[in-house]
Amino acid sequence: MPKQNHKTSVGGQALIEGVMMQGPKGVATAVRKTDGTILTEYHDVKHLRDKSKFWNIPIIRGIVAFIESMILGYKMLMYSAEASGMDDIEEEEMGEFDKWLSEKLGDKLMNVIMGIATVLGFALAFLIFFYLPVWLFSKLNTLSHMTLTPWQGTIEGCIKIVIFVVYMLLVSQMKDIKRLFKYHGAEHKSIACYESGQDLTVANVKKCTRFHPRCGTSFMFVMLLLSIIVVTLLSLVVPAELKRNTVAWMCIKLPLIPIIMGIGYEFIRYAGRHDNLLVKILSAPGLWMQRITTKEPDDDIIEVGIASLKAVITDNPEDDEIK
């Protein structure tokens, strides 16, 4: 076991009835099957940053890591749906049209459904978190006779945060999402137990915190806060005529997303290694949001988190220490 206050680079993701843990050498998944057993598998993963030093340059590595995590997360979600047996349950509950689609597309049906869901998800995210704040600001600015124009970046950013919090609160009320958030909590608590140097047992994990500074929720909130700063500075130099044009203003902001993403990643890395006052202040909103995106897991869910973590760590804790 590692020493106390071990800062591990291991991170994870909640899956359908499971947990994924990503370590220094690969990825492990643990999924609770419908018969009650836990299916644990190790997956070799090759990262782009390992192929060239260029992809490991600060900021750039954050952009690459985000894209890779999105792709990997999608693949592991697909895997967990199949491994847990959820596909079989859904097949039994199919209507006539669903059965017809299944017969025509066969094994490709789930890939098609997930592909469509992904496209729709990105489109919805663009509308809610990118277009809607701009549109709402334009309405508010018109009502105020254009007096809010100098504060456009700040106000749009605050609107994004409000939308994000409300969205997560609403989503967290769904039954399936509540269970997913319990697995998210198990992931965090297992890592916290490992970092504290305790044996990975259900009793020890239960005592640990479910809040972690390197969580994806914290990353999203850091990105929102950074976007306020960056877009506010941008709005000071962009002519008012361009900012009043919704399409032009969105096109100007789009190239900033990867930069904000990269800066956010560097902060999350820094937060994982340090525990100073600056980190505590900037991490506080993200940690608060984890009260929504993580739930206290049951013992059987904790067992899944432990199984996934044990499969990805090595005998030498220094292998996964944050560099």
List, for residues 208-267, the tens digit of each pLDDT value. 999 988 888 888 888 888 889 988 888 888 888 888 888 888 888 888 889 998 998 888
Residue 269 belongs to some domain of the structure: yes
**Is the residue at 322 inside a domain?**
no
Q: What is d(CA 297, CA 14) in angstroms, rounded to the nearest whole number?
A: 12
Q: What's the whole-number mean pLDDT along residues 158-183?
A: 93
Kindly state whether residue 164 falls inside one of the protein's structural domains: yes
Tracing tokens 């990269």 back to the chain, one arrives at 262
If we measure between CA atoms, which residue out of 225, 237, 221 comes closest to residue 150?
237
DSSP 173: T
Determine the pLDDT at residue 163: 92
pLDDT of res. 86: 59
Give pLDDT, residue 109: 55
Domain encompassing residue 173: 11-315
Does the pLDDT at position 9 exceed 90?
no
DSSP result, 240-296: HHHHHSHHHHHHHHTTHHHHHHHHHHHHHHHHHH--SHHHHHHHHHHHHHHHHH--P
6 inside domain: no
For all residues of the chain together, what is the average pLDDT? 85
**Strand 26-32's sheet: what is its strand order?**
11-15, 18-22, 26-32, 38-44
Q: Is residue 320 part of a domain?
A: no
Question: Is position 236 within any domain?
Answer: yes
pLDDT of residue 206: 95
Does residue 323 belong to any structural domain of this protein?
A: no
Q: Residue 63 falls within a domain, yes or no? A: yes
Question: In the predicted model, is pLDDT for residue 74 greater than 90?
Answer: no
Q: How far is CA 232 from CA 149, 155, 207, in A?
A: 11, 9, 42
Q: Where are the alpha helices (DSSP H) in the chain?
A: 60-83, 86-92, 96-105, 109-126, 132-143, 152-171, 175-195, 202-207, 216-237, 240-244, 246-253, 256-273, 277-293, 299-312
Task: State the total domains in the chain.
Answer: 1
Q: Express each pLDDT in 118-163 by its tens digit.
A: 788 788 888 888 889 989 998 998 898 888 888 888 999 999 999 9
Residue 89 pLDDT class (50, 70, 90 cuts): very low
Q: Contact, 154 vs 243, CB < 8 A?
A: no
